[in-house]
């Protein structure tokens, strides 16, 4: 996970935020795909890919921030 620690935090925040809200109109894909997942209608490979594309940067940001907090506690 050292590669994630070396990745610029500011850039990770921008990418995660952008992909979380893109496209803004008519509805962010992240919200649309999570809704489809909860309703059980997320079945097309392109929709699954889209969910991963918009979710992974947020997960990486969460891991990076958690590791940063853990490192500062030492």
What tens digit of pLDDT does each residue of 57-74 get? Answer: 999 999 999 999 999 988
The 10s digit of each residue's pLDDT in 27-41 is: 888 898 999 999 999
* Containing structural domain, residue 44: 2-73
Sorted by sequence, the CB contacts under 8 Å of residue 55 that are 6+ apart come out as: 30, 33
Q: Say if residue 66 is preceded by a cis peptide, omega within 30 of 0.
A: no
pLDDT of residue 64: 95
**pTM, 2 dp:** 0.83
pLDDT of residue 68: 92
Q: Is 64:4 a contact under the CB 8 Å cutoff?
A: yes
What is the rounded average pLDDT of the residues 40-47? 92
**Number of independent structural domains in the chain:** 1
Mean pLDDT of all residues belonging to the chain: 91
Please report how the helices 29-39 and 45-73 are oriented relative to each other, as an axis angle in degrees rounded to 10.
110
């Amino acid at each position: 996970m050292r590669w994630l620690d070396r990745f610029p935090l500011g850039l990770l925040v921008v990418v995660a935020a952008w992909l979380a809200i893109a496209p803004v109109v008519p509805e962010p894909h992240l919200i649309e795909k999570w809704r489809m997942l909860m309703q059980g209608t997320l079945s097309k490979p392109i929709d699954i890919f889209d969910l991963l594309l918009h979710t992974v940067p947020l997960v990486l940001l969460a891991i990076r921030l958690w590791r940063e907090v853990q490192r500062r506690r030492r």
